Structure 1
Amino acid sequence: MCEFIEACDEVSGSAQEHFIEEIGSCAFQLVLYDRTQAAHAELDQIAAQAKGYVSLNDLNLNREATPGVSADTADRLKNHDYFGFRWNTGDNDTTAWYPQGMTGNEDAGQSGRRFLVSWYDKANNPAKGVRISLVDLQDPNNIRYRHILLVEPTADGFGPVLTGGGNPLHAGGIVWIGNLLYVADTGQGFRVFDLSRIIEVSHTDDTSRIGVSAGRVDAFGYRYIAGQIARYRQPNDACNIRFSFAGLDRSTQPATIVSGEYMVDNTTGRLARWPVDLASGWLIEEVGRVRATSAYIAGQTRMQGALTRGDEIYISSSSQYQRYGRLYRTRVGQESSISAWVYGAEDLYYEASTDRIWTPAEHPGDRDTVSIPRRDP
């Protein structure tokens, strides 16, 4: 329970580089805008005109990834027991889509070894928004995956997931909890999608069409869509914080989603933890608002992802040593330890069963999705 709400200038500023600093958290707040009932009705109408609903377990995983990493990544991570995979050539090299966020079935509380990776539409012509890739890594020698387009259902169909200005959502971080997928909405909070109602569209032969029209259901040529059902936004009287990435911490009571801010050349970027009910999948409200349970000035530049595990904090930062990233391991009150990290490092996912930390690299031609064993700060 928050008894005191900080002034915004009390929860901003810079920290000494490599030293994370705890700040007040009650001034960071979110409000739920829940469209679940209406969105489900809209999705039901779309499904009736398409080929119906399909479960994640039944998706046709039509693409094949290659086990292993590039020679450059292998050299960068030579002091670690690295493991990863590469997208097929088209996805590895495309300049139209950039991978950003990562989560997996262990976040969701499900069995198996499946990952989700978010990509934002950099080409933006037309704006296609966000897609996610479902990756099946159960057999590391036969890695299959499929892209799913995220959409926003409406009374008369659906459209791509865009910002208020009409640009593709950056989707810099994602968290999978039960049937819900949280997608970071940089200036606002989170979008929430229902993965239990994936729809197979009727037509995939026209990559320029989206929505329901002329007896067709199209999604820019994608076979599957997943719909937005809710969003969390910052109220006007709360202190603003950016949502550049997201990760889940199941070790806290209650569990928390950690979000954070990308800042280029200064150490003002902050992290915040948001309480979540793992049983329902929804953030925990206090008198109609979700209040951050803790917050920090991270003391690192160019943060692309972060994880917490109790008092342990792991930060993925890009362009720290020449063109390469670093993975920082830290706690409040101690200097960050450094692990070599990849070129184009992005969001983080913690795979507890293997005790490994993952990231998807973003740059065309260098898109290794890679993991290394977690080390204590």
Structure 2
Amino acid sequence: MAMCRDGRTFYAALVLCAFAGVVGCNSGNLSGHGVDVRDVGGLEDSSALDAGDGGDARGVEDAGDSDGGFDGDEADADGGEMPDTADGPDAADAPDVSEEPVWACEGEPNCEAVDVSTTLGQMRGLDGCAFELALEEPMEDGEALADRLLARVTGEAGGQTRTMVDVLGALNRQGRAGLRSSFATRLSGLGAVGFRWNAGDDDVSYWYPQGISGSSDAEASGLVEGRRVIMTSWYHKTEARPTKGARLSVADISDLSDVRYRHLLLVDPVEAGGEVNYTSASYDSGNALHAGGIVWWGSYLYVVDTMKGIRVYDLGRMFRPSHTDDTSAIGIRGGRSDAHGYLFAVPRIARYRLTSESCPVRFSFVGLDRQSEPPALVTGEYFSDHAQAKMVVWPLDAATGLLETRQGSTVASRGLVIGQTRAQGGTRVGGDFYVSSSSQDGSNGRLYKGRPGGRNTSVNWVYGAEDLYYERAHDRIWTTAEHPGARDVVGIERF
């Protein structure tokens, strides 16, 4: 059946609908694909002075660094040097991001048409109509479950509701100013700035940093509570079960010579026997959620779910469990609540999944284009052995903070083939797509810029480069490096 989505104007939408012979289209609620969803189905933290807070202590639990059966885009091996290209993008093929895109998708998506290759170093545009997400459950159901959890945590389990104000008032770890010499040398001439975690977090073998976002994503002002903030995600890389899942680090970088930060735990509400509880963020397999990319947008935290879609966690429903003295405990039991020793826990409220009609695509990372109209999430795939990974642009509704939904689903506004291997992060700024690739120069990375139809340009990037975050007020692109002993958080001037 033909489909009709909102166009540049209501009139354009009516014309498209009339042409397609579709009945019942109306502006703001136009027909989309079917929405049948597949698969419905360092030392741990404590308070600033709570017992068990290691601060700068090196890893002392979950000893070892065995791979926990990673789901999809594991830390990459070193690769050979990739050829750079000097040609700039072709202006004739540049997207006009100031113009509201047209979502007018007819018929079933043609997955063969988007299963294409491109020349190494050149992006290639794809039809966004091939990709579609829908909520696994209605948003109000997820919010209601999270609210029931909060009621139980703050009632019988002795916990308390908390906000980002509380987090920023309880930063308990001291970062180290500046970049290590090898990073500073490699990024010479790029205006590089950044910081390092304390020695314990820099060296710990069972937590790996992955995603990055910050206050420039979260708020139009670029500040949260008047502060310049970086947020990163980490996944628990261990065979220990149950996994501790994924955590966040919130760092105040208002003064890069004096960076303080704190870890928070992501948790997933669960219901059994009519009673709500919570677990660590994980896949159905029991492995830790890889959290390969994050976007902080208002009170929502978007976290990629590698093979399925995107999860949404709610910083506005954050809570403090009653106890922080047992790093092995998670959930509510015996009148107490625990979150593996962490002082703050952030619950999930929703999951977006690829629909049964969508063409397949992975969700290895995510960035935010806050300057486009509408704003958009940019997700992408990691592949180590070929350059045909895709990036997909998903429109956001600035009024709700959620993906823009039309009759129950979100259809991508565009897609592209990246044209580079080992893509670990990506975003879009002013129509340019930026891609963070690891192991392009021996063990070091490259940061690429390009547009569909043009040749990519690139600059030196860091060892272990991951997700990307664009800080608008400072015109900087940031990443967090993942490997133990070399985990600088780095920002360079946009090129």
Question: What TM-score range do you get, normalising by the shorter chain?
Answer: over 0.9
CA distance in 2 between partners of 1:231 and 1:43 (Å): 19
AA of the residue aligned to 2:405: E
Instruction: State the Cα distance separating 1:334 from its structure 2 match.
Output: 1.6
Instruction: State the Cα distance separating 1:303 from its structure 2 match.
Output: 0.2
Alignment-derived partner of residue 114 in structure 1: 229
Alignment-derived partner of residue 98 in structure 2: none
CA distance in 2 between partners of 1:351 and 1:213 (Å): 42
For 2:472, which of 352, 355, 361 is the aligned residue?
352
Alignment-derived partner of residue 52 in structure 1: 160
Instruction: State the Cα distance separating 1:139 from its structure 2 match.
Output: 2.1
Query: What is the TM-score when the length of structure 2 is the normalising length?
Result: 0.74
> More strand per residue: 1 or 2?
1
Instruction: State the Cα distance separating 1:287 from its structure 2 match.
Output: 1.8
Alignment-derived partner of residue 85 in structure 1: 195
1:247-286 alignment runs, 5 A limit: 247-286=367-406
Instruction: State the Cα distance separating 1:78 from its structure 2 match.
Output: 1.3
Instruction: State the Cα distance separating 1:207 from its structure 2 match.
Output: 1.0
* Contact 1:50-1:200 at 8 Å conserved across structures: no
Q: Deviations over 1:54-97 (max 9, x none)?
A: 11112211101011111110111112110000000110001110
SS in 2 for 1:364: coil
Instruction: State the Cα distance separating 1:44 from its structure 2 match.
Output: 2.4
For 1:220, which of 327, 335, 340 is the aligned residue?
340
* Contact 2:194-2:256 at 8 Å conserved across structures: no
Alignment-derived partner of residue 129 in structure 1: 245
CA distance in 1 between partners of 2:120 and 2:158 (Å): 53
1:60-99 alignment runs, 5 A limit: 60-99=170-209
SS in 1 for 2:230: strand
* Contact 2:179-2:195 at 8 Å conserved across structures: yes
CA distance in 1 between partners of 2:154 and 2:292 (Å): 28
Q: Deviations over 1:309-335 (max 9, x none)?
A: 232111000000010000001122221
Alignment-derived partner of residue 59 in structure 2: none
CA distance in 2 between partners of 1:66 and 1:315 (Å): 27
1:1-377 alignment runs, 5 A limit: 1=5, 2-4=104-106, 5-32=108-135, 33=137, 34=139, 35-48=142-155, 49-59=157-167, 60-109=170-219, 111=223, 112-126=227-241, 127-154=243-270, 155-375=275-495
Query: What is the TM-score when the length of structure 1 is the normalising length?
Result: 0.97
* Contact 2:318-2:345 at 8 Å conserved across structures: yes
Unaligned stretches of 5+ residues in structure 2: 6-103
Count, aligned residues: 375
AA of the residue aligned to 1:272: V
Q: Deviations over 1:18-60 (max 9, x none)?
A: 1000011112000113211222222222133233111111221
AA of the residue aligned to 2:229: R
* Contact 1:325-1:341 at 8 Å conserved across structures: yes
Q: Deviations over 1:79-133 (max 9, x none)?
A: 2110000000110001110000000111111522011100011024131110001
CA RMSD of aligned residues (A): 1.1
**Range with greater deviation from structure 2 (191-200 or 105-114):** 105-114
Runs of 4+ aligned residues of structure 1 deviating over 2 Å after TM superposition are 1-6, 47-51
AA of the residue aligned to 1:3: C
CA distance in 2 between partners of 1:50 and 1:334 (Å): 58
Q: Deviations over 1:227-249 (max 9, x none)?
A: 00111001122111100000000
